[in-house]
Amino acid sequence: MIELIAQAAPEFNPFWGTEPSPEAIWKIFAAIAVGIVFMFLLMRVPTRSRRSIVMTFTFLSGAFYVVYYLWPEPINRGPNDAPSGFVDAGGFFLQDALPKVADIANVLTYLLLCLGIYSLTRIHLGRVVKKQKDWSFSVVLLIAMVAMIAVGYWDYILKEFNDPDKLLTKAENWGGVNYAYDMLFDGLIQQMDAAMFSMIAFFILSAAYRAFRIRSIEATVMMASAILLMVSLMGAVDYQWSEIIKGWTNDQPGNFLNNFNLSEVAGWVKNNLQIPSIRALEFGVGLGALAMGLRIWLGLERGGVSV
Amino acid sequence: MNETFFWWKLTIGVIATIGLYSVLYRETKLYRFFEHLFLGLAAGFTLVALWKETLKPLWWDKMTGSATIDPITNVSTMDAPGYWVYGFLLPIGLMGYLVFTKRHNWMSRIPIGVILGFWSGQQVQIWWNRWGAQIYSSMQPVWPTTTDSFTRPYSADLPAPEQAYIAAQLYPSQAISNLIFVITILAALSYFFFSFDMKGRLLKGSNTLGRWLLMIGFGAIFGSTVMARFVLEIDRMSYIFVEWMDQTGKMFGGG
Amino acid sequence: MQYLDTGKWHVIFTLLLVFFILFNIWRAKGKKDMFVRRIPGLNAIDDAIGRATEMGRPVLMVPGLGDLNAISAQAINIFAQVTKTAAQFGTPIRLCCANAAVFTLAQETIRDVYQQQGQIERYDVDSVRFVSDRQFAFAAGVSGMIHREKCAATFFLGEFFAESLIFAETANAVGAIQVAGSTQTVQTPFFIAACDYVLIGDEFYAASAYLTREPVLVGSLVGQDWSKIVVAGLIILGFVTNSVERSQPATQKRVDVDATADTEAYTTWEDVSEPWENGKPVLKRRQDTWLFKQFNPFIEQEDVIVEREQRQPAEAGEGS
Amino acid sequence: MSKPEKSFWEKAQAIDRRVLYAVLIVCTAISLFFKTEIPVNPDDSSKDLYVSLMTIDPNKTVLIESDWTNSTRGESAGHFEALMRILMNRNIKFVLYSIADPQAPQVARDALLRIQEERKAQGLKVYEPWVDYLDLGYFPNAEGHLQAVGNNIRTAWGGRKERDEAGVERDVFTSPVLSGVRVVGDASLLIVCSASATIDIAVERLYGKVPLGFMVTGVMGPNALPYYQARQIVGMGVGLKGVYDVEYMMTYGVNYRVEGTNKPKVSYREESVTIPPVTEGTTFDRGARYFLPLHVALALMILAIILGNVAMFASRKKRVVA
């Protein structure tokens, strides 16, 4: 137990990490300031060196994971182990750095999020201002958005800061805002999600009726295996069929005919035809991703998404 | 309060569901209304979640760290150190916003480059974890270890050693299935050769066969996916016709 | 070096694949019009855009729901090609994104395309738009748009999930030509059922090589083919050796000991007590074969014991 | 030349899709009100999952990654509820966490609450937070997080605090649930109850470090199948069939022979295993309720395909004659 508590205490590098305290805030501001200065320096760089700058950023970020992969992983690491030798030390460093590095990509992604919302708002505000077709619906959109933001953050502040004893986790202690939030989120967003999702069932039905025609061998085999699978999913049919087979084999479990139970046949198709064919496809996709990854990482592409 | 609220919540959910379903009939004003309502709420929620679910836990908390102050001794213990360098991420992220500017839009490629870089690096790292075991499990033995019987005999009623023996054997039927497995994967793989022309009977044949086998695979996927889709529709029906009606009964049926 | 976590083999193998790809990219430098096998879906692009131009209706492009990664990047690469043609004809385009980072990249890339085509005045910032990052809000928004703007051609390329069929059927309802392809194998059958042209699996990655014939892209395509051949070869080697070995009598059995609270997992051999079971020799099991050993490295107990001196707990957690 | 009258089949071919939609709604809605127990032969993958759930060491903790939201309630809720019932019946401690969606934890919490209420009503043991289970909530950044868990679970979850039975906030690793867990492998099983591609991430980042079991929607089933076939996961329940399979096995046991019958209702390939039925608590629930409507829907689907083809051929023949 002692050992566990010791582990629970965080380890950190005293340079990057700081004790939570007022002066920590200054360090943070310093970091932001440095970043902004850096940004303005970048604005000055000549056009020809831009590509190499972007490529450097990409390369360095990719390099971490590649090194992490190639570097021997320290095994059996105890909570208070000191590294034994250089290789081990490197392994320790990479292991500790990994979670932090993993955050960076996400933080950046989310920092970009407002850009998307900006585009959405722009388009719909434009519609309202220009009184374009359907502008009234754009008003609905904007109102809904503002309402959700207001209620959402209000509810969040109530729950996060004004509720030390976590009373609001139970509905009976709720106030109006919490109800409003629950109504908007659970009552509307969630249900609309489910509604849109469930609509696919209808589309499948019509697509099947329209498109699943015996036109070519391909279409036919696809249809056949689809129907076989669907029938095997109908437990009752499957069971009745197996009962019939039991009749033929007079319930001899060893009998060869038992392999013709629907679930057996469907399972066989899955295991010996679906899995290998799809697996081959996935190999290709995996290799494609690997190749594309390498091209991006090493900046081998030009045009399209790369500068 | 609670019961009534719950009923209203259900009711509004039902109305919204019907509103969206209306597009199945035609793209009407009703659908348009609920579509824009949905988009608005979703966008709003995105902005709420942006701080609450992601930036705060992922960025702010880790940047500032956290400490608890013991109410009695008033000694502050650090739970997690603050990583002030995370502050540097803010300007990097903000560079993305230059995408709309005329002169500096190229800088938006920097955060994007970083994100893509991480992803690319990981590809090298995860490839084997994902595919290694699958490559191995594709190397199936195709030579039966025994010919006592064509299929694996039913061994439930036999003594343990017999069972163990039977379990360890590879019977002809299984061997044939394995052979089919291997042929399938090779044929399907051959369909995905792009850079050289498939000449010759064998290659052409395996290419076509590969495509058919892929279609069988897709059919099977279609079959089992259909289940999921229908269940969701059934669940909506139960939401409307069972849950909502029950609650309505409770509300008005004196229940 | 201790590659005890998974063994050395996989590192070498992965590096081999990496080498194949890079080597072929290097080899392809400067070569012109190399062979890429025909991909039907991609020949349809021009007809689709032409049709849209005649009808004066927009071309819709959706790079899927995925985060910013090579898949969405590849989708946008293809869309850049589509946009090139559209820009020449002056066909209006719509590119709907579900991820802000992807949106940023798309915005930047599409503008570049118009710039290079010298059609920058035709470029409308709002033609590339972010709809919602919530799967079904996105689905609702895009299908509403398909209905209202009656898109004449739709391109669904990238990581699609459940929404794939909503898009495909809606677009079908307004009679659009559809080119689709998803790296999500599970969605491909739905595209096949509902769309006119479908890129299956790897074809999606081959697309940009096919469209541009860039030596770099075609080169890496060759590298991918080499890698596939190696995988195929490995499988063939595997099923042959496995078939042989599984019918050989076993002398030792492999025993895997799981990880416990104070040690990692390790493996040992155990002699087969009686080599004959009811009159038949005991044969090698799956895990006794040579190949299994290659893929599941054999780790002795002593390998997993590493001596490290202990830090002082004080040092371990400063400020604690 | 006058246009020939359209035949029934030609009309059928050009049938308005809305008719199909209406039929589907009506049939499924009606069949919801009939409750029948349908006999099945559970899939092998479901059997493997259920058997490993019923045979794991009850003193070890089970990790549950709950990655579903309201939009896949139909299938995932069934899986999750069945899982809760099994673990609570066997009195196994568990940890709940989510990586797919910020809403996932709340949805899981509600489901857990439902089961708790149900068990309270049945007079069974009710699980206490901190003592019997931990609810760690949502971790953003799926890849990064699972990577971190595999690499060192104690640093990955180190910062998290929960209220213990006394209401004091403490590090989760001091709780009875996690105190025995040093590496992720110390957990007996990691169950991923998912409706999304997080199963791939789980395999990529955690395979070989802890036994994995999947409870996935029918959509993710085909994705997960190769992992099952390659023995990267111990077993999996797929879609509603998977839910019903598990409920069915809970009711009738595995390889369990009732006196006077020579064959068990559910037989398992490893004959040494025998699992008696679950005697206390609910067994048949959501799976049983939705299974009949599913039959109806699938039957409709097959009918639609067949009719579509018949219509095509019939009208084609007519055209040849005309």
Per residue in A43-68, pLDDT (tens digit) is 999 988 999 999 999 999 999 999 99
Residue C113 C-alpha, separation from nearest chain D C-alpha, in angstroms:
33
Dihedral-angle region of residue B153 (phi above 0 means left; psi in -120 to 50 means alpha; beta otherwise): beta
A137 CA to centre of own chain = 31
pLDDT over 60 (residue C4): no
The pLDDT tens digits for C153-212 are 999 999 998 899 999 999 998 999 999 998 888 889 999 988 999 999 889 999 989 998
pLDDT over 80 (residue D224): yes
Residue from the list B8, B64, B124 with its beta carbon closest to the beta carbon of A66: B124
Torsion of CA D7, A226, C136, D238, to 10 degrees: 150
pLDDT over 60 (residue C3): no
Instruction: List the single residue in A with minimal CA-CA distance to B150.
Output: A256
Dihedral-angle region of residue C56 (phi above 0 means left; psi in -120 to 50 means alpha; beta otherwise): left
The pLDDT tens digits for A237-254 are 988 998 898 888 877 767
pTM value is 0.89
The pLDDT tens digits for D251-272 are 999 989 887 777 788 888 777 8
Tell me whether residues A208 and D71 touch, CB distance under 8 A: no
Question: Cα dist. C80→A304, B104, C39, C116 in Å?
Answer: 6, 21, 18, 11
CA atoms within 13 A on the CB side of A77: 24
Task: Give the DSSP H/E element, type plus range, for residue B67.
Answer: strand B66-69
The pLDDT tens digits for B187-222 are 999 999 998 887 888 889 998 999 999 999 999 999
Tell me whether residues D179 and A1 touch, CB distance under 8 A: yes
Tokens at residue A14, please? 């005293």
CA atoms within 13 A on the CB side of A58: 30
Cα angle, residue C82 at apex, residues C81 and C84 outer, rounded to 5°: 65
The pLDDT tens digits for B77-97 are 777 778 888 999 999 999 999
Q: What HEC string does chain A produce?
A: CHHHHHHHCCCCCCCCEECCCHHHHHHHHHHHHHHHHHHHHHHHCCHHHHHHHHHHHHHHHHHHHHHHHHCCCCCCCCCCECCCCHHHHHHHHHHHHHHHHHHHHHHHHHHHHHHHHHHHHHHHHHHHHHCCCCHHHHHHHHHHHHHHHHHHHHHHHHHHHCCCCCHHHCHHHCCHHHHHHHHHHHHHHHHHHHHHHHHHHHHHHHHHHHHCCCCCHHHHHHHHHHHHHHHHHCHHHHHHHHHHHHHHCCCCCCCHHHHHCHHHHHHHHHHHHHHHHHHHHHHHHHHHHHHHHHHHHCCCCCECCEC
Share of chain C above pLDDT 90, in %: 53
Report, as an integer, the average pLDDT of D49-53. 95
Best mutation target, C169, C178, C191, C229, to test chain A (most A CBs within 10 A): C169
The pLDDT tens digits for C252-298 are 888 877 665 566 667 888 887 776 766 677 788 888 888 888 787 77
Give every CB contact of residue A162 below 8 A, 6+ residues apart in sequence. Answer: none
Which chains sit next to C, with 3 or more Cβ pairs under 8 A? A, B, D
> What does the DSSP 8-state code read for residue D123?
T
Tokens at residue B43, please? 């966008």
Residue from the list B120, B123, B189 with its beta carbon closest to the beta carbon of C232: B189
Best mutation target, D19, D20, D73, to test chain B (most B CBs within 10 A): D73
Q: What is the pLDDT of residue A13?
A: 61
Counted across chains A and D, CB pairs separated by less than 8 A come out at 154
Residue A129 C-alpha, separation from nearest chain D C-alpha, in angstroms:
35
Residue C131 C-alpha, separation from nearest chain A C-alpha, in angstroms:
6
D190: three-class secondary structure by DSSP: strand
B122-135 burial, b if ≥16 CB within 10 A, otherwise e?
Answer: bbbbbbbbbbbbbb
Tell me whether residues C104 and B135 touch, CB distance under 8 A: no
The answer to whether D62 and D92 are in contact (CB under 8 A) is yes
A14 CA to centre of own chain = 33
Residue from the list A104, A143, A194 with its beta carbon closest to the beta carbon of B89: A104
Quickly state the pLDDT bin for A304 (edges 50, 70, 90).
low
Tokens at residue C231, please? 């995988």
Give every CB contact of residue C311 below 8 A, 6+ residues apart in sequence. Answer: A80, A81, A82
ipTM: 0.88
Report the candidate in D208, C16, D236, B136 with the shortest Cα–Cα distance to residue A279. B136
Residue C295 C-alpha, separation from nearest chain B C-alpha, in angstroms:
7
| Residue count (chain B) | 255
Instruction: List the single residue in A with minimal CA-CA distance to B189.
Output: A280
The pLDDT tens digits for D74-99 are 899 999 999 999 999 999 999 999 99
Q: What is the pLDDT of residue B254?
A: 59
Tell me whether residues A75 and C168 touch, CB distance under 8 A: no
Q: Are strands C252-257 and C266-271 parallel, antiparallel or unpaired?
A: antiparallel
Task: Give the DSSP H/E element, type plus range, for residue D28.
Answer: helix D17-31
β-strand partners of C269: C254
Residue from the list D38, D154, D229 with its beta carbon closest to the beta carbon of A235: D38
Distance CA C259, CA C266 (A): 7
Cα angle, residue C142 at apex, residues C137 and C143 outer, rounded to 5°: 100
B3: three-class secondary structure by DSSP: helix
Best mutation target, D18, D24, D26, D41, to test chain A (most A CBs within 10 A): D41
Tell me whether residues D223 and C261 touch, CB distance under 8 A: no
β-strand partners of C157: C181
Quickly state the pLDDT bin for C96 (edges 50, 70, 90).
very high
pLDDT over 80 (residue B158): no
Q: Which residues of B touch D (CB under 8 A)?
A: 24-25, 49, 52-54, 57-58, 66, 68, 79-80, 122, 126, 129-130, 133-134, 136-137, 155-156, 160, 163, 220-221, 224-235, 237-238, 240-242
Report the candidate in D101, D168, D172, D102 with the shortest Cα–Cα distance to residue D135. D172
The pLDDT tens digits for D279-289 are 888 889 889 99
Distance CA C250, CA C272 (A): 7
Question: Cα dist. D106→B58, B238, D193 in Å?
Answer: 19, 21, 14
The pLDDT tens digits for C200-232 are 988 999 998 999 888 999 999 999 999 999 999
